[in-house]
């Protein structure tokens, strides 16, 4: 009976623990939604990357909160990191894992959510701004401005055959593509280079949080120094 009570007590304590997976803009905390700010405020422990700006970290570094960095916890942002976060629940009741961008679109939010749910831990995802959209905003090409962007197409995950069909047969103004790996970027660029309509495309890459237009040149190996996963934007014009 005592063993049963201890087990029940443990199960109850675990159900009170929670992880928030929060989408943010690592360079500007003002892009956070009100609900994201509230979840951050409620949390005992914040986990984020060292890529977050000093101003962002200073804004959330409240006295009653502990901040840990992904790079110090794990060399790989994946299951090895999530297991460490899970172990940290022994000492913290509410943990916020801050993502640069949207957890589902810019990171591995779906896999992370599944991992914690499988560990019987309540995990709530708070959507954030998509990195590519943020780059468009900074370039004053707002997705909501219908005079500039009447059509935006998203592709995730990247599919070479589907991409080839869109490029060659379907009209679009802007195509936002999620690329998880460097080889997907090479496949995408090759399809563009081989397209008969390549002179009608502009390729924009998010470099240092700004969109940069690049040409379809294969003489250099990844001259853009992209980090993955990332979004690229293809703009079509007549």
For 57-81, write each residue's pLDDT tens digit.
988 866 678 999 999 999 888 999 9
Range 26-30 contact pairs with CB under 8 angstroms and sequence separation of 24 or more: 26/51, 26/52, 26/53, 26/56, 26/98, 26/100, 27/52, 27/53, 27/56, 27/209, 28/53, 28/56, 29/55, 29/56, 29/59, 29/60
Residue 166, CA distances (Å) to 14, 72, 96 in order: 47, 42, 38
Q: What is the pLDDT of residues 104-144, one digit of tens each?
A: 877 888 899 999 999 999 999 998 877 776 666 666 555 55
**Could you give the dihedral angle defined by the CA atoms of residues 154, 157, 160 and 165, in that order, rounded to the nearest 10 degrees?**
-30
Q: What is the pLDDT of residues 139-173, one digit of tens each?
A: 655 555 545 554 677 888 899 999 988 888 766 77
Give the pLDDT confidence score for residue 141 in this predicted structure.
56
Q: How far apart, in whole angstroms, are the C-alpha atoms of residue 8 and residue 24? A: 37
pTM of the model: 0.63
């Amino acid at each position: 009976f005592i063993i049963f009570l201890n087990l029940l007590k443990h199960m109850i304590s675990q159900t009170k623990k929670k992880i928030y997976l929060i989408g943010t803009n690592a360079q500007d905390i003002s892009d956070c939604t009100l609900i994201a700010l509230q979840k951050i405020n409620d949390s005992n422990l914040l986990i984020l990357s060292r890529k977050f700006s000093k101003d962002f970290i200073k804004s959330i570094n409240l006295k009653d909160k502990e901040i840990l960095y992904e790079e110090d916890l794990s060399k790989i942002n994946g299951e090895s990191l999530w297991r460490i976060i899970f172990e940290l629940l022994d000492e913290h009741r509410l943990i916020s894992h801050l993502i640069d961008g949207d957890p589902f679109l810019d990171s591995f939010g779906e896999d992370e959510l599944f991992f914690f749910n499988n560990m019987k831990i309540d995990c709530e995802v708070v959507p954030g701004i998509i990195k590519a959209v943020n780059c468009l905003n900074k370039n004053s090409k707002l997705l909501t401005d219908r005079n500039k962007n009447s059509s935006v197409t998203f592709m995730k995950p990247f599919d070479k055959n589907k991409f080839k069909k869109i490029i060659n047969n379907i009209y679009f103004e802007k195509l936002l593509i999620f690329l998880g790996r460097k080889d997907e970027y090479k496949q995408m660029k090759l399809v563009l280079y081989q397209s008969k309509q390549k002179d009608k495309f502009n390729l924009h890459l998010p470099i240092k949080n700004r969109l940069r237009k690049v040409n379809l040149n294969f003489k250099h190996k990844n001259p853009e120094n992209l980090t993955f996963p990332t979004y690229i934007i293809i703009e079509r014009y007549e």
